[in-house]
Structure 1
Amino acid sequence: MEYGELGAEGGGGPAGELTPDGLRLYEYAAAVPSFTPTEAGDALGLARPELARALEHLEALRLLRRDADEACRYAVVSPEFAAGQLLWPMERRIRQQSEDVERIRTTFAALGPCYQNGRQGRQRAEVEVLTDLEDVRRLIDGLADNCRTEALHVQPGGARDPEALLKARASMGRLLERGVSSRSIYQHPARYSQHTVEFAEWMMERGAQVRTLADGPDRMLIYDRKVAVVSVQGNSAHALVVYEPNLVAFMVSSFETAWRAAAPFPVGFDREWAKQISDDLRQSIVRLLAEGLDDKSIARRLGMSMRTVQRHVAEIMRTLDAKSRFQTGYLVGLDEVGISDR
């Protein structure tokens, strides 16, 4: 019987404690060279069940041992020797466990620098800058090919380059064939570009959704809400690749806000939407004039040509009877705060 198994049936109490019967039997055993259960029972006046429990308990505690020549006879064992026999396996296990604890602690402590180096490397990689246009294109193609659930695109700037649209059909086609949800936002002037209209219609025929708005977020592509590619201010050939979850979530939120404000891309020409788009563009130009932007900045912001912006500005000036751009901006500002008498 193992030490940990002793209980009531092994002597009537916890392994380390003796019952009164056990103490009497041990004292008797210490006073005689050896004894049989019958001799001990007669000497102590113990009934057979009580004697059997006491014998079993003392033997389990290594305080009694059987005679090597006569198995029915018992002899006493000193408490010191019995404790050594009983506790040695336990102490060995404790030492082994202590050694295991130290070994594990040392192993894990050695991993600290590796973890810190890895975290630093991960933090550096959460936002990556690509400065080569071909690298950017290869990255976008790879992200599109690995996209499995959703692709979100913001493509400002009006009409898109026909060659770029032609190259985009391959990766976009594979993405849509896999059933990936795709939503794209263009700016209103894209509706007047034949190549962009054909590309938008081609995407919509394959299940994509396309909308336009006058003014919105900068260029960004988001794949599976896990990684985003955004343009670098002042250099369209450079890109930032964002993996940090909180930044990507913020970009998704910006996209959703712009998407709700955008208008569906029309299939075919409709006079009503054409008028609505023209009004939206005019309102955006008015707002940007009030902010003090020049024609070049407005054209870049709204994806329009300088000539178109200048034409709209001239019409706005005529409407307000303004003599200069400064006066136009001032009058527009009055209109916006509701104190103009015009």
Structure 2
Amino acid sequence: MLRAIGLDKGQETAYRALVALGASEVPDLAHRLALPVQQTERALRHLERHGLAAQSSARPGRWVAAPPGVALAALLARQRSELEQAELSAALLAQEYRGEAAEPTVHDLLEVVTGASAVAHRFRQLQLGAAREVCALVTGRPHAVTAADNEEEERAAAARGVVFRVVVDQDVLGGPTGIREASTALARGEQVRVTDRVPTKLVIADRSLAMVPLTARGAEPTALVVHASGLLDSLTGLFEAVWREAVPLRLGATGAAEESGGVPDATDLEILTLLLAGLTDASVAKHLELGLRTVQRRVKGLMELAGVTTRLQLGWHARERGWVAR
């Protein structure tokens, strides 16, 4: 929790222990923390430099914790001041950049990023810098950043109010972790849709910056970063076209459904959504941990509820009746 003011986990633990004790000898504190004496002493020296601890003048070798209300408030005030200065510098640099790049050349509109770590770093930069919206097309295996690697950044962006619109390939949804990752995204408030074929991986931030892969699977990850330009407009148009044709995904984690009055229950709605996304009965049964016959029985019940005789009719009626999002 105190990483933002320059403390690592060990130093924060040492400070918390010292606060709980009020004061302590180094060996006693080391024993409490289950750390070597030298490591504990280094942590205390670091706390001393931050004004969070001090050596007792009355008893040499004894350390006293600084009152958190005073010491931490001072550090936070300094951090806020430094952050405000950084924001001001960033704004001035952005203004200078816009002035210098009023008519950028073609080379200035495109960046080629090579290497897994460089691609991953640029991707996180793009996402963390988004202020309004992130749009993404997801297909195939990730080259540089997995869903698990990116979860923390997505949570942080969502907490800032950034809207996520994501279209996933049917094969991705049907993969071993596809349903779980989609459920996690929906639980964060992201909008997720599914289509049978996504043309390319793509991420767009605030309609001002985009990133697309340049290499095929197996080659060294390379991506193209596209700045505001006609090409970016075309990529944005591509995303919107795929988004319009994709099926909105609805899973149980996004909220409860009514279970009476001739309305499908939550499990029925999950089954419908996954079938409309193109998954087979067997795949739906596997991902929802249901028996194949249970899935088929529920589909038959939905057909009876809708008063139809084919699955094609069921899909049409499901959309018309609002059982699944349009």
- What TM-score, normalized by structure 2, do the two folds share? 0.45
Larger Cα-atom Rg: 1
